[in-house]
Structure 1
Amino acid sequence: MNRKEEIIYATLELASVNGIKGVTMAQIADKVGIKAPSLYNHFRSKEELIREMYVFLREKAQKNNLEGPLDYTKMFEKKSLEEILLSSVSSYIGMISNKNMLQFLKTLYSERSTDPMAAGIMVEETERMLAQSRDLFYALAVHEKINKTNADMAAMTYALTIHSIIDYRMDKITAGELKEFGDENSPVPGKITDFIKWFSNMIGGNNYE
């Protein structure tokens, strides 16, 4: 682990207790065991540190969750639309359920209504999800799993519905009503599974297998 990673993990630990707003650069430096001015050799500001922490934790969680580059042909082979969407959302949930990523997201969720930086990162995550969903649905159209004329609207409807259910689950975790993101017998919440089944039928998945 290099020094920048030490700083990121120390910041995450402090933020999980005090919130992002409640963490100072001096506290971070003390946690790492360096002098405060030395911290600025790695990050020019607290905002830069938090944003780099988001990118680092997301990439690490995504790398741990994926076996290799995304191959749509292999992903779609002999699978129904419902199976493809469930596989896709399972991968995303696996990424955000990573221990460190989940802790970071919990902190962001609790502060996004009052902290522009937290809100900005959540907007970026939503935009990433929308873009990835759009790419997925374009590929589904190319492979004739869905009607091409429905790809853009289907992608937006799918992504924003999944996003709203994830928001709901994250709020329950933050409120202490849930300990884990998934259900007892599945990492994917039942509400998402039910939506995917309904949605696949609505956009003609059974006709495009």
Structure 2
Amino acid sequence: MGEKIKKDDIIKALLDMAFAHSTSGTSLSDIAGALGIKKASLYNHFESREDLILRTTESCAEYLASISFIPADIDSVAKRYPPETVLKGIVSRYIKMHEKSPLFQIYTFVESQKYFSPEAAKIIKDEREKITAQTCKVFEALLEAGTVSVKKELIPDAAQWFCSGVCDIMSIHLLERKKIVMENPKSGEGELFTLSGDDSSLDRINSLAESFSQLLK
């Protein structure tokens, strides 16, 4: 890549290297080597390795904050489809988003840092609160559409339980996907995240959506 690099190039290199070797197993020399530059060049953008990790964490927070768990037209979607179809759709969409670059690397990085970095722990807390709040909007839209009859005051608790199930499924699914990726190294980034896998996670998603649809009726 040469000497003319940007901060974002370095952050991406760290995420890629951490995905393969863990954050603790990635040195500045590793990052510089991946970028084809001298290690000293990294200090033109970051004060230290710790500063790079902190700025990368902040970049991950910004990216995740821009991701929505639900589509913008959820009100019209709730009117067109039955509850189980709506819930299956939004969860499948969310998980598939996380299978692709850069979200796959971001998720892995933040999860690996959450026990060591208060900033990473806050990202996970904020993300869980966000998808719970957006799930409340889904349940409220279904209630407005007349396809569920859950009491409105119970929606926050129902959303929290549903999101806990979603996060558990996604965590297991992405762990399985990461194993597949690491066992099948590819030369192209596009190829890397399109490797085939089993449908067990989709089955768990469908089961969760169907169960919650029945509970909401």
Q: Distance in 2 between matches of 1:177 and 1:3?
A: 27
- CA distance 1:134–1:73, shift in 2 (3 Å): closer
**Residue 12 of structure 2: aligned partner:** 9
**Residue 188 of structure 2: aligned partner:** none
**Residue 186 of structure 2: aligned partner:** none
- CA distance 1:78–1:183, shift in 2 (3 Å): farther
**Residue 91 of structure 2: aligned partner:** 89
Pick aligned residue for 2:105 from 103, 114, 117: 103
Aligned-pair CA distance for 1:159: 0.9
**Residue 25 of structure 2: aligned partner:** 22
TM-score by length of 2: 0.70
Q: Distance in 2 between matches of 1:159 and 1:19?
A: 27
- CA distance 1:13–1:192, shift in 2 (3 Å): same
* Alignment check: 8 A CA contact 2:110 2:120 kept: yes
* Alignment check: 8 A CA contact 1:81 1:200 kept: yes
- CA distance 1:164–1:89, shift in 2 (3 Å): same
- CA distance 1:25–1:138, shift in 2 (3 Å): farther
Pick aligned residue for 1:128 from 127, 130, 138: 130
Q: Distance in 1 between matches of 2:110 and 2:101?
A: 14
Aligned-pair CA distance for 1:102: 1.4
Aligned pair count? 197
Query: Structure 2 matches for 1:132-151, cutoff 5 A?
Result: 132-146=134-148, 147=150, 148-151=152-155
Aligned-pair CA distance for 1:110: 4.5
Q: Distance in 2 between matches of 1:176 and 1:109?
A: 18
- Could you say what the CA RMSD is over the residues aligned between the two structures, in angstroms? 3.7
* Alignment check: 8 A CA contact 1:183 1:189 kept: no
Q: Distance in 2 between matches of 1:160 and 1:175?
A: 23
Q: Distance in 2 between matches of 1:82 and 1:48?
A: 40
* Alignment check: 8 A CA contact 2:20 2:182 kept: no
Report the 3-state secondary structure (helix = DSSP H, G, I; strand = E; otherwise coil) of the residue aligned with 1:21.
Answer: coil
* Alignment check: 8 A CA contact 1:57 1:100 kept: no
Q: Which runs of 5+ in 2 are unaligned?
A: 184-192
- Per-residue deviation, residues 80-133 of structure 1 (Å, max 9, x unmatched): 011111111122112211132113323444454455554443333322222221
Pick aligned residue for 2:81 from 48, 57, 79: 79
Pick aligned residue for 2:42 from 32, 36, 50: 36
Q: Distance in 1 between matches of 2:45 and 2:32?
A: 6
Structure 2 residue 206 is the aligned partner of structure 1 residue 203 = no
Pick aligned residue for 2:202 from 182, 186, 189: 189
- Per-residue deviation, residues 52-73 of structure 1 (Å, max 9, x unmatched): 331455478x49x99xx60123
Q: Which runs of 5+ in 1 are unaligned?
A: 205-209
